[in-house]
Amino acid sequence: MASKQFVANPAVLLEIYQRAALLKANDERARKVILSGQIAMVYYSYRGQEIIPSVMGQVLRDDDKLCTIYRGIHDMLGKGFPLRELWAELAGRTTGSCKGKGGPMHLTYPPKGIMVTTGIVGSSAPIANGLAWAAQLDKSDRVSVCTFGDGASNIGAVHEALNLAAVWKLPTIFVCQNNLFAEHTTFEKMTAGGNIAGRAEGYGIPGVRVDGNDPEAMYSAFAEAVARARAGEGPTLLECMTFRFHGHTFGDDDSYMPKGQKAEAIEADPVPRLRARLLADGIASEDQLAAIEADIEKQIDDAIEYALASPWPERDSLRFDVFAQEIAA
């Protein structure tokens, strides 16, 4: 389905790089901060998967909705989660986006359409459908995106969501980030049929397998899916091929990841690859890229300082903001 109509031009590629460089630096910092003991949190590294959310953030509008999973900080930063509110939330402080009560597993920032992070595998899909249905009822052209892993693609809720979205022509874009591993199990050991995109045929919707580490291919496929959804033509299932460089959760044993395959993936790291491409094609100079990267480090320093200087929630506040006080009729 990928159409030549959606081209990542040089300016777009540079912006995709800016986002990817932020995501990469943020992940590297998160792992350092945990090791330093400054912030204790459960952390699922997304290192290696930066291009997919950088493209999504580039294409989506602020009013488009996004639902992610525990390995979703890259998706959220890609869509514009402010760094200070992010780090304060990771640190469990009152200045965090959920007043420190959500933590890394429940990041949320509705002003940018960043609706929910969930630890329940596969549950981002039906929630995204609800948001897509709301857009349909509002007669708005905003779209709803859910991200999930290859493991989640085998969960019933994902299939139910695909079916409903297809029947109701919901503006949902199903983005499977196929990083080839689910917790400690390889893709081949748990997924029949050899690919996930092919399942779309059963629902009568487009299914596209794309190299999620290739910014141009990813841009073309994702922009087309968004255009379809905005035009009222319904959902698309994208299977974005990628690789995570680390174990499932920070500090786990990654012996189930074949060493040669992992080394090869790290060698083909998509972020420095895009950087080299920008330089080779004269899209940006070394000085320009170094300035972008230095600025990112400064922003992350500022956010961590802000987070660590912020107060913890009071014990008495713990019962508040947890359940909605009122539910719309």
Ligand X SMILES: Cc1ncc(C[n+]2csc(CCOP(=O)(O)OP(=O)(O)O)c2C)c(N)n1
Q: Is 149 in the site for ligand X (CB under 6 A)?
A: yes
Q: Which of 10, 110, 111, 119 binds ligand X (CB under 6 A)?
A: 119
The C-alpha atoms of residue 92 and residue 311 are separated, in whole angstroms, by 9
Q: Which of 62, 183, 281, 301 binds ligand X (CB under 6 A)?
A: 183
Q: Which stretch binds ligand X (CB under 6 A): 6-14, 147-155, 214-222, 232-240?
A: 147-155
Q: Is 262 in the site for ligand X (CB under 6 A)?
A: no
- Which of residues 8 and 271 has its CB atom nearest to ligand X in the complex? 271
Q: How many CA atoms, within 13 angstroms, populate the side-chain half-sphere of residue 83?
A: 20
- Give the list of residues 6+ apart from residue 324 with CB closer than 8 angstroms, or none: none
Lookup: tokens for 278: 């920008």
Q: Which helix or strand (DSSP H or E) is residue 66 part of?
A: strand 65-69
- Which of residues 102 and 149 has its CB atom nearest to ligand X in the complex? 149
Q: Is 71 in the site for ligand X (CB under 6 A)?
A: yes
The C-alpha atoms of residue 240 and residue 214 are separated, in whole angstroms, by 10
Q: Is 128 in the site for ligand X (CB under 6 A)?
A: no
Q: Is 121 in the site for ligand X (CB under 6 A)?
A: yes
- Give the list of residues 6+ apart from residue 120 with CB closer than 8 angstroms, or none: none
- Which of residues 180 and 284 has its CB atom nearest to ligand X in the complex? 180
Q: Which of 78, 151, 171, 215 binds ligand X (CB under 6 A)?
A: 151
- Which of residues 79 and 248 has its CB atom nearest to ligand X in the complex? 248
Whether the CB-CB separation of 93 and 317 falls below 8 Å is answered with no
Q: Is 35 in the site for ligand X (CB under 6 A)?
A: no
* Residue 211 CB burial class (10 angstroms; 0-12, 13-18, ≥19): middle
Q: Is 120 in the site for ligand X (CB under 6 A)?
A: yes
Binding mask 281-310 for ligand X (x = CB under 6 A): ------------------------------
- Which of residues 124 and 136 has its CB atom nearest to ligand X in the complex? 124
Q: Which helix or strand (DSSP H or E) is residue 149 part of?
A: strand 144-149
* Residue 250 CB burial class (10 angstroms; 0-12, 13-18, ≥19): middle
Q: Is 53 in the site for ligand X (CB under 6 A)?
A: no
Lookup: tokens for 286: 């070394």
- Which of residues 96 and 149 has its CB atom nearest to ligand X in the complex? 149
Q: Is 234 in the site for ligand X (CB under 6 A)?
A: no
Q: Is 45 in the site for ligand X (CB under 6 A)?
A: no
End-to-end Cα spacing for the chain: 40
Whether the CB-CB separation of 162 and 237 falls below 8 Å is answered with yes
6 phi/psi in degrees, rounded to 5: -105, 100
Q: Which of 181, 203, 219, 243 binds ligand X (CB under 6 A)?
A: 181
Query: Measured at CB, which residue is nearest to ligand X?
Result: 149
- Which of residues 114 and 278 has its CB atom nearest to ligand X in the complex? 114
In whole angstroms, what separates CA 114 from the centre of its chain? 10
The C-alpha atoms of residue 227 and residue 31 are separated, in whole angstroms, by 37
The C-alpha atoms of residue 206 and residue 237 are separated, in whole angstroms, by 6
Lookup: tokens for 322: 């947890």
Q: Whole-number minimum distance, CB 204 to ligand X, in Å?
A: 24
- Which of residues 265 and 284 has its CB atom nearest to ligand X in the complex? 265
- Which of residues 148 and 219 has its CB atom nearest to ligand X in the complex? 148
Q: Is 146 in the site for ligand X (CB under 6 A)?
A: no
Q: Is 179 in the site for ligand X (CB under 6 A)?
A: yes
Residues lying near ligand X in the complex (CB under 6 A):
71, 119-122, 148-152, 179, 181-183, 248
